[in-house]
Chains A and B, each alone.
Chain A
Amino acid sequence: MTLLTIDGLKMYYRSDDGYVRAADDINLELERGQTLGLVGESGSGKTTIARSVIRLLPDNAEVIDGSIDFDGTEITELSERALRKQIRWQEVSMIPQNAMNSFDPVYTVGQQIVQVIRYHEDGVSKKEAKDRGRRLFGELGIDPDRVDDYPHQFSGGMAQRAMIALALCLEPKLILADEPTTALDVVIQDRILETITGMQEEINSAMILITHDISVVSETSDRIAVCYGGRIVEQADAETIITNPRHPYTLGLRNAFPDIGDTDTDLVSIPGTPPELVDPGEGCRFAPRCPFAVDECWDVTPQPEEFDDGHIVECHRADEADELRERAEQKETWEEVRERPSQPQGAGGRR
């Protein structure tokens, strides 16, 4: 059963130079209990897309078009109050990248858990709320007595677990995990990720896992969407994205991380910088960095095209995927892009 449907969403930021098209023509679906991996570089729009679900966006963000249907509720038309009271944390919670900084330093973790429980659930006493926090701490492998500690008394990994406790305390239907392990030690990363998915299954909530690291989502997600330049350039079930990607950007991403695909290939990063999102004009946004770009790519914006069941790609050469995949594994292919005379870019800095 579908929990979340994003349909044709255009979420732009106003700026002095015009709209920044942070999320452009987004279409996504998420089933209950499922995990969606949202992969992309920084500035690709993945965070904007995820946060649109709870409208946790800067003041200058504006929904230009499209809809977000969460469990039958139209998010874009919801009042601030209703959004706060019914959606945020009650239905959709969040695990941020940096747990340490995401706790208010002047209150204990327990106080912050109690605060959010008591705000959203009527008639819960402080003690009950705190007990729930202690139970969660226990389940997450933290000494329950530490609910009375201040955030700065926790280590990084512990703080992240405490944050998970906070995220789960209302048993939400959806968890937005925004790079939840990036700030952590590699050794702890996996354990935290396991903890998250374990708990997620236990309370049967869905999750959007945002990361720039495709290897993270490959293991935990049911479905993966790849973002580039404010658009979702390719989405499919996890298996398909890993084994049979069709978009050159996905190919490039795959190369950038060692554990996927052939282990003996060299690590190759995608040369160039993410595109300018103010008034990007016609043409594929990846074209300037794409080793396979042809004239059509520069002039015509590719439209989503469905291949196998649910495998949607925005690329003019998606049907040549098999050939491109082979070439993409060669380091030289990407090096060429670097030497190519760069296409003129818009003036001014990025947002």
Chain B
Amino acid sequence: MGLREYVVRRILQLVLTLWALVTLLFVLFRMVPGDPTTRFVMEYPTDAERQARIEELGLNEPLYVQYLEYMGQLLRGEFGDSTHYREPVSQLIFPLFMNTVVLMFTALLIAYTIGILFGAAMGWLRGSRFERGGIVAVLMARSSPEFWVGIILVWLFVFQFGLFPRSGIGGYGGELTMNFVDRYVNFDFLRHLFLPALTGAIVYLATPALLMRNTMLEVLKADFVEMKKAEGLPERTVLYKHAARNSVLPLVTVAAIATGAAMGGSVIIETVFNWPGVGREMVASVSRNDYPVAMAAFLLMGTSVIVMNFVADLAYLYLDPRVKYE
């Protein structure tokens, strides 16, 4: 199978998976007991008015019609209107998605930077007390659900030391802008970002650290590591510039997959820190029977997973050392 054929096949598979996700979503959210008008039931004195609302939302159509309409809508790049907020879902969800991306990207960036350095050190010092302790520490972090890590951090940094704000994405009363730089690149935002990002970083640290350690153990068997030592280069140079540099390649694919998965994992962190992101919005919209928003949020998270899995596969193609170096 040639490279081109592989990529084409992989893209077809991507499309199939997306279609399946959309269909799954549709089925899932049509299983909801009750309907979106429940929330307003007290506001509708008569059945007729409630019925009118149901018709307005198109919920009286046969399921397959609703399904086709939903698919058509998505193909046009629309998510429909929120039944709760009565406004286009896209308008509501994209700022939230951006918030989530910024949060999780920061968390992963920290996790992978520290994880890789830490994992490299563990591999380098194999069999040492440092390695054993490191493994236990990393597993301990990974064994803690996100909410637990978040709660500890809040307890420590907010309640005990009062160093960081409790929740939200920024101080109040500033300019509300969608401009990326104005919105995210300022001290106040970063202060709010710190704890949630750290929570994610701690939980996500284990994968790169352990993987890095394992690939390090492989790479350390390579002749060139011995050679670099023979050249008299300092240990740190050999470790980070050579051994770690070589071990890091397989991690790129893992990082891509983790990025996708993290979008879905943001739910808990966003809930703990009241972060206005797509995960928290999903939980909220599910609980108020706002299908279009819940579906869009779910779809965005699912699409992130699928696309990043795809990116990981392609990255693997280009980065596989056997392809490149032999």
Binding site for B on A (CB under 8 A): 54, 56, 83-85, 87-90, 93-94, 96, 98, 101-106, 115-116, 119-120, 150-152, 166
Top 5 A-B pairs, shortest CB-CB distance = A88-B232, A101-B223, A102-B227, A84-B232, A105-B325
Q: Find out whether the CB atom of B246 lies under 8 angstroms from the CB atom of A105.
A: yes
Which chain B positions have C-beta within 8 A of A102? 223-224, 226-227
Closest partner residue, chain B, to A86 (CB atom): B232
Which chain B positions have C-beta within 8 A of A152? 324-326
Question: Which of B224, B229, B245, B246 interacts with A56 by CB under 8 Å?
Answer: B229
Please tell me if B231 contacts chain A, counting CB pairs below 8 Å. yes
- Bound-state CA distance A143–B322 (Å) is 26
Please tell me if B222 contacts chain A, counting CB pairs below 8 Å. yes
Q: Find out whether the CB atom of A94 lies under 8 angstroms from the CB atom of B227.
A: yes
Q: Find out whether the CB atom of A89 lies under 8 angstroms from the CB atom of B232.
A: yes
Binding site for A on B (CB under 8 A): 222-224, 226-234, 237, 242, 245-246, 321, 324-326
Closest partner residue, chain A, to B232 (CB atom): A88
Closest partner residue, chain A, to B233 (CB atom): A119
Q: Find out whether the CB atom of A88 lies under 8 angstroms from the CB atom of B325.
A: no
Q: Find out whether the CB atom of A104 lies under 8 angstroms from the CB atom of B228.
A: yes
Given known A-B contacts A104-B242, A106-B245, A98 and B223 have beta carbons under 8 A apart: yes
Q: Find out whether the CB atom of B223 lies under 8 angstroms from the CB atom of A115.
A: no
Q: Which of B222, B224, B242 gathers most chain A CB within 10 Å?
A: B224
Given contacts A88-B229, A96-B223, 13 further A-B contacts (CB under 8 A): A56-B230, A83-B232, A88-B231, A88-B232, A89-B231, A103-B224, A104-B228, A104-B246, A105-B246, A105-B321, A106-B245, A119-B234, A166-B231
Could you show 14 A-B contacts with beta carbons less than 8 Å apart?
A: A56-B230, A89-B230, A93-B231, A98-B223, A101-B224, A102-B223, A102-B224, A104-B242, A119-B231, A119-B232, A119-B237, A120-B232, A152-B325, A166-B231
Which chain A positions have C-beta within 8 A of B325? 105, 150-152
- Bound-state CA distance A104–B243 (Å) is 9
- Bound-state CA distance A157–B325 (Å) is 17
Closest chain-A Cβ to B248's Cβ sits at a distance in Å of 9
Question: Which of B232, B234, B237, B321 interacts with A90 by CB under 8 Å?
Answer: B232
Closest chain-A Cβ to B233's Cβ sits at a distance in Å of 6
Which chain A positions have C-beta within 8 A of B222? 101
Given known A-B contacts A94-B227, A152-B324, A106 and B232 have beta carbons under 8 A apart: no
- Bound-state CA distance A120–B227 (Å) is 15
Closest partner residue, chain A, to B321 (CB atom): A105
Dominant SS among interface residues on chain B: helix
Given known A-B contacts A94-B227, A105-B325, A116 and B246 have beta carbons under 8 A apart: no
Question: Which of B224, B232, B326 interacts with A104 by CB under 8 Å?
Answer: B224
Closest partner residue, chain A, to B225 (CB atom): A104
Q: Find out whether the CB atom of B230 lies under 8 angstroms from the CB atom of A115.
A: no
- Bound-state CA distance A166–B230 (Å) is 12
Which chain A positions have C-beta within 8 A of B321? 105
Closest partner residue, chain B, to A58 (CB atom): B226
- Bound-state CA distance A106–B229 (Å) is 17
Q: Find out whether the CB atom of B231 lies under 8 angstroms from the CB atom of A116.
A: yes
Which chain B positions have C-beta within 8 A of A150? 325
- Bound-state CA distance A156–B154 (Å) is 59
Which chain A positions have C-beta within 8 A of B229? 56, 88
Q: Find out whether the CB atom of B230 lies under 8 angstroms from the CB atom of A106.
A: no
Question: Which of A84, A96, A106 interacts with B234 by CB under 8 Å?
Answer: A84
Closest chain-B Cβ to A326's Cβ sits at a distance in Å of 43
Closest chain-B Cβ to A332's Cβ sits at a distance in Å of 42
Q: Find out whether the CB atom of B232 lies under 8 angstroms from the CB atom of A87.
A: yes
Q: Which of B223, B224, B232, B237 gathers most chain A CB within 10 Å?
A: B232
- Bound-state CA distance A26–B170 (Å) is 72
Which chain B positions have C-beta within 8 A of A93? 230-231
Closest chain-B Cβ to A177's Cβ sits at a distance in Å of 12
Closest chain-B Cβ to A174's Cβ sits at a distance in Å of 12
Closest partner residue, chain B, to A169 (CB atom): B231
Q: Find out whether the CB atom of B233 lies under 8 angstroms from the CB atom of A54.
A: no
Q: Which of B227, B234, B245, B325 gathers most chain A CB within 10 Å?
A: B227
- Bound-state CA distance A120–B231 (Å) is 9
- Bound-state CA distance A150–B223 (Å) is 16
Closest partner residue, chain A, to B128 (CB atom): A59
Q: Find out whether the CB atom of B245 lies under 8 angstroms from the CB atom of A94.
A: no
- Bound-state CA distance A184–B246 (Å) is 26
Which chain A positions have C-beta within 8 A of B245? 104, 106
Which chain B positions have C-beta within 8 A of A101? 222-224
Which chain B positions have C-beta within 8 A of A98? 223
Which chain B positions have C-beta within 8 A of A89? 230-232
- Bound-state CA distance A151–B226 (Å) is 16
- Bound-state CA distance A243–B229 (Å) is 39
- Bound-state CA distance A211–B67 (Å) is 75
- Bound-state CA distance A88–B326 (Å) is 29
